[in-house]
Amino acid sequence: MTASVPTPATVPAQAHATAALSLGDDALVLSHRLGEWAGHAPVLEEEVALANIALDLLGQARVLLSLVGDEDELAYLREERAFRNVQLVEQPNGDFAHTIARQLYFSVYQQLLYEQLAADAGSPFAPIAAKAVKEVAYHRDHAEHWTLRLGDGTPESHSRMQRALDALWRFTGELFEPVEGLSVDRDALRDGWLTTVTDAIRRATLTLPDGPQIGAWTAGAGRQGIHTEPFGRMLAEMQHLHRSHPGATW
Amino acid sequence: MTTTAPETGALEAVFEAAVAADERIEPRDWMPDAYRATLVRQIAQHAHSEIIGMQPEANWITRAPSLRRKAILMAKVQDEAGHGLYLYSAAETLGTGRDELLDKLHAGRQRYSSIFNYPTLTWADVGAIGWLVDGAAITNQVPLCRCSYGPYARAMVRICKEESFHQRQGYELLLALSRGTEAQHAMAQDAVNRWWWPSLMMFGPPDDESAHSSQSMAWKIKRHSNDELRQRFVDICVPQAESLGLTLPDPDLRWNEERGHHDFGAIDWDEFHEVLRGNGPCNEQRITQRRRAHEEGAWVREAAAAYATKHAAEHGEATA
């Protein structure tokens, strides 16, 4: 099925805002999680790489949130229920394998999504997606290479990587739920994602998880503002200083 | 290869002449063992300082109060990791690898700058570190761009450019706080009060007590004495503090017309030596986090090495 592609003029502003918030929050939240690695990475090169990815995502988030309103008000003054990111990106870092599994699942999705948006001249997100997709291609490359090294490295890294892929699998179905204001071919997105992820996992001598991709009541829940418990704590840390000084500029 | 005494004498003469003529010593050149050891010690300490120095600032990445500040801080901490990489590479040109140096750091056999054993208690500390700590580091490091050892001097050129950006962002951060709300101004002043004296200690003990200074000066690894650099730093900071609208916590700080420099109060060298001995507020915390990151990352490094070996072997078979 190919979703109909409305021209910007026919998309209500509110729907655009929801789409921008969804994409912006994905980038903002994942950037924050990656930022938590600073000073804790397994090797110095990864301090540089993870920070680089976090910075790219933060840049994307700032552009997307600014389409909707003031970036800082949106990042620091919304309550948990108003965030529209998928639950995948808010999952805690876990060990390095969990971080890489999260990166693999998300960066493949983001690359395919942004490729579609960039190719759609009618999409208000085309220019942003065209720029971001170049960054995201690197993120995906980074995630795939680490999936290979960990999957096909030592018995320990193999089992850690498999556990991580399995643990995060149930958060991947949400990536393909409809997003208001975002016109994409979701079937192509899902098929492309599954093909790419399956290929990376197979080359890494790992097994594609066989559990459900969505928990019973959480289908698309992040996009509707329903998050997981660790997200509240993440926001409490992220927002506390800004909220402690109402009206201050930094 | 062993060299006989007369050969060594001739090589040493070539080395001394090169240093005297301000030429660069390069990795393949002959150099005295003590010169090599001094450089490894200094470059390692500098590299360790970069990676330990990530911790106090990374402490605020997740709490940065605006997205712009968050991006700047993440980029800065990333730069420090990058500086660590250049410096470990510079040490490697002297025959000492990164793994060996990290082991020595983790075992407490090599040092990092003591300044990072102080805590970052508020957001303003991020600004104070940029302005004062990076400012002091630049004052120390700019002369190293002319250091006699080529790879170190070249690494320092790049590092100093980035450090200068870090110093400006710290100043700009403090300026925003100083001109902000009353609470923000107080936060900035408190941070400067806590970081000023430890920053002055970054130049090391007074010249008459400095263990390594004179030989390093002769070898042109070091170009200025600790006290000279400290004075230069104080003279730079005083007008900057005024522009910031902040005060420096030293009642004895005043312009001395005769010397053409600022006089300043006595530094608490007991505190310096205590922190150096491991009794600073964060010594244990910093090294424990570093060790933990290294130990918890061991399986990742092993996996990468195993993967590389496996696939190098496959490649070898394919081309055999």
Å between B11 CA and nearest CA of chain A: 37
Task: Sketch out chain B's domains with CATH numbers.
Answer: 32-315 (1.20.1260.10)
Q: What is the ipTM of this complex?
A: 0.94
DSSP state of B149: B
Task: State how far residue A91 is from chain B, nearest Cα, in angstroms.
Answer: 15
CB neighbourhood size of B35 (10 A): 21
By the 8 A CB rule, do B195 and B237 touch? no
Token pair for residue A233? 């704590």
In chain B, residues 277-316 whose CB comes closer than 8 Å to chain A: 289, 292-294, 296-308, 310
CA distance A165 to A201: 9
pTM of the model: 0.94
Whether A5 contacts chain B with CB within 8 A: no
pLDDT at A14 exceeding the cut of 90: no
Tokens of A222: 């992040």
Of the options 3.10.110.10, 3.40.190.10, 1.20.1260.10, 1.10.260.40, the CATH number for the domain spanning A14-213+221-244: 1.20.1260.10
Pinpoint the alpha helices (H) of chain B: 5-20, 33-58, 67-92, 98-106, 124-128, 134-141, 150-178, 182-201, 213-218, 226-244, 269-274, 283-296, 298-319
The answer to whether the CB of B95 falls within 8 A of the CB of B29 is no
pLDDT digit of tens for each residue in chain B (320 aa)?
A: 556 676 888 999 999 999 999 999 999 999 999 999 999 999 999 999 999 999 999 999 999 999 999 999 999 999 999 999 999 999 999 999 999 999 999 999 999 999 999 999 999 999 999 999 999 999 999 999 999 999 999 999 999 999 999 999 999 999 999 999 999 999 999 999 999 999 999 999 998 887 767 888 888 888 889 999 999 999 999 999 999 999 999 999 999 999 999 999 999 999 999 999 999 999 999 999 999 999 999 999 999 999 999 998 776 655 54
Q: Which residue of B has its CA nearest to A40?
A: B293
* Residue A52 DSSP SS3: helix
Task: Report the alpha-carbon distance of residue B145 to residue B151 in Å, rounded.
Answer: 10
Nearest to B196 by CA among B136, B106, B149: B136
pLDDT in tens, A93-146: 999 999 999 999 999 999 999 999 999 998 999 999 999 999 999 999 999 999
Integer Rg of chain B from CA: 22
pLDDT value for B213: 75
A106 exposed, middle or buried (CB, 10 Å; 0-12, 13-18, 19+)? buried
Residues of chain B found within 8 Å of residue A153, distances taken between Cβ atoms: 302-307
Contacts of A165 (CB under 8 A, 6+ apart): A101, A104, A201, A206, A208, A209
Chain B interface includes A152 (CB < 8 A): yes
pLDDT band at residue A12 under the 50/70/90 scheme: low
Comparing A235 with B207, the larger pLDDT belongs to: A235
What pLDDT is recorded for position A8? 44
Task: Give the A:B interface size as CB pairs under 8 Å.
Answer: 143
CA A180, A183, A188, A192 dihedral sign is negative
